Amino acid sequence: MGRTKVISIANQKGGVGKTTTTVNLAACLASNGQRVLLIDVDSQANATSGLGLEKEEGASAYQPLLGHGSLSDKIKATAYQRLDLIPSEVDLCGAEIELAQQERHLHRFREALNPILESGRYDVVLIDCPPSLAVITLNAFCAADYLLVPLQCEYYALEGVAMLTRVMNQLKEGGANAELQLLGVVMTMFDGRTRLSHQVVDEVRGFFSDKVFETVIPRTTRLAEAPSHGKPIIAYDPYSAGAAAYEILAQEVAERLSLRTDPTQALPASFEKPALEAGSSAEVESPSQGGFMDEDLAAG
Residue from 228, 247, 231 nearest 239 by CA: 247
Report pLDDT digits (tens) over 49-104: 999 999 889 999 999 999 999 999 999 999 999 999 999 998 888 888 898 888 88
Mean pLDDT value of segment 151-155: 90
Return the HEC string of the chain: CCCCEEEEECCCCCCCCHHHHHHHHHHHHHHCCCCEEEEECCCCCHHHHHCCCCCCCCCCCHHHHCCCCCCHHHCEECCCCCEEEECCCCCHHHHHHHHHCCCCCCCHHHHHHHHHHHHCCCCEEEEECCCCCCHHHHHHHHHCCEEEEEEECCCCHHHHHHHHHHHHHHHHHCCCCCCCEEEEEEEECECCCCHHHHHHHHHHHHHHHHHECCCCCECCHHHHHHHHHCCCHHHHCCCCHHHHHHHHHHHHHHHHHCCCCCCCCCCCHHHCCCCCCCCCCCCCCCCCCCCCCCHHHHHC
Quick check: 276 pLDDT over 50? no
Mean pLDDT value of segment 23-30: 98
Quick check: 297 pLDDT over 70? no
| Average pLDDT across the chain, whole number | 88
Burial 17-44 (b: 16+ CB within 10 A, else e): bbbbbbbbbbbbbbbbbbbbbbbbbbbb
Quick check: 116 pLDDT over 60? yes
pLDDT at 280: 40
Is pLDDT larger for residue 300 or for residue 141?
141
Quick check: 222 pLDDT over 90? yes
Burial 96-125 (b: 16+ CB within 10 A, else e): beebeeeeebbebbbbbbeebbeeeebbbb
Task: List, in order, residues 6 or more apart from 36 with CB less than 8 Å away.
Answer: 26, 29, 30, 82, 83, 84, 122, 123, 124, 125, 126
pLDDT at 298: 37
CATH superfamily of 5-299: P-loop containing nucleotide triphosphate hydrolases (3.40.50.300)
Quick check: 284 pLDDT over 70? no
pLDDT at 160: 75
pTM for the complete prediction?
0.89
